[in-house]
Amino acid sequence: MRRRLIQSTLAVVLVVIAVFGVSLVIVETRTISNSAQERVDSEALRLASIVDSRLLGEETVTAAILRGQVAQERYARIAMPGQRPIEIGTRPAGEVIRSTAKGEEGETVTVEEPRSSVTREVGRTLLIIAAVALLAVVAAVLLAVRQANRLASPLTDLAETAERLGSGDPRPRHKRYGVPELDRVADVLDASAERIGRMLTAERRLAADASHQLRTPLTALSMRLEEITLTDDPDIVKEEATIALTQVERLTDVVERLLTNARDPRTGSAVSFDLDEVIQQQLAEWRPAYRSAGRAIVSSGKRHLRAVGTPGAVAQVLAALIENSLMHGGGTVALRTRVTGNQAVIEVTDEGPGVPADLGARIFERTISGRNSTGIGLAVARDLAEADGGRLEMLQAQPPVFGLFLSRTPLKRTLVAEDEPTVR
């Protein structure tokens, strides 16, 4: 591209120089020739006037008197009636510029100048024009190189940016070049890089959330299947198989919920449901794990509470809290339900040491975790709670008490413009 820009600019300059240079040479040549002819004409008239004045004064006219009136490179011949012609200078050979003037006393004055003087002057003029043209070409080349670099370098940068995007590096460069068209391309590439970055972040988050959220249902399902393989009692097999099918349905709901939340965290299928059913389901699912650890899990508080939300999402939040207590807590884990205002609250607490002081309010941040943990569970649980219009908080650090707040009345949504927030 640089070479093409330089070649095109140089071609334009050469065409301009050729057109205007040739025209200028023709004009200057004619001007110099006309000027030389005018000088010879003027000298012939001047000599004729001098001869007339001397003849009228009855003075002699000689070559010595007129020699000082004729330029050195010119030749003059004065022919007077009844006298021998007077010649001044050397008559030039070859082409000459000639002028003849007649005086009032009948004399004839002829002045000649060699055309070589005109040729020399035209040559000097051509050299000046050629020098100016050469300077113009050099200046054009330098300008073309500068302009080519100014245009080609940004295009190279933009190509490198596009290549980085294609190779999976979505960092925007925020570099501009002072050329509106190129800056527009840079804006589009930066915007694309930000969108790709957000998409990659969402995919990584989905993968991390899925690996964390699916681990518990799969573990529970594995335990149920092990129970089936270890017994020959058809009733126990049927019971465990029924529970396993329920857990498979829960697993399916987890996957759908994760995918929905990854597409739009605000999208939910909130309904009014009985909290007791979700709590009892979690107790039945987690009791085998707690019995294996020599611990207990119980529930208490207000019964038959109804809340608005997605049962699968609420179950996932409680599962994250219960698993967190199993991994990091101690003693008995208690789920207690209560009412505050227009909200139903499920509190999860245990008898362990609680949340370390250095974690504090950062416990819900991703990558913030206690020992041997991914740091994703509580962050995912909070996102799931907020997606249904609820919230998850740490009410007490020692002993640990986490509270899941859910609305008790259906959410009222009003239609708004596409870019305005939903009114609740």
Whichever domain contains 75, its CATH number is 3.30.450.250
Check whether residue 280 and residue 365 sit in a common domain. Answer: yes
Do 243 and 279 belong together in one domain? no
Q: Are residues 97 and 16 in the same domain?
A: yes
Parent domain of 35: 2-139
Alpha helices in 308-376 (DSSP H): 311-328
CA angle, 332 then 310 then 221, to 5°: 55
Strands 271-274 and 333-340: unpaired
**pLDDT band at residue 416 using 50, 70 and 90 as cut-offs:** very low
Asked if residue 235 and residue 285 are part of one domain, the reply reads: no
Could you give the number of structural domains in the chain?
3
Most confident of 124-128, 284-288, 363-367, 410-414: 124-128
Identity of residue 131: A
Residues 244 and 270 in one domain: no
Instruction: Name which of 81-90, 124-133, 148-157 the model is least confident about.
Output: 148-157
* Overall average pLDDT of the 122-146 stretch: 87
List the beta bridge partners of residue 100.
110
Residue 420 binned pLDDT confidence (cut-offs 50, 70, 90): very low
State CA 57 to chain mean position distance: 95
Range with the poorest average pLDDT among 190-199, 223-232, 367-376, 408-417: 367-376
pLDDT at 288 over 80: yes
**Domain presence at residue 422:** no
Report the alpha-carbon distance of residue 245 to residue 242 in Å, rounded. Answer: 5
In 10 A of CB 363, how many CB atoms? 20
Mean pLDDT of the chain: 79
The pLDDT of residue 287 is above 70: yes
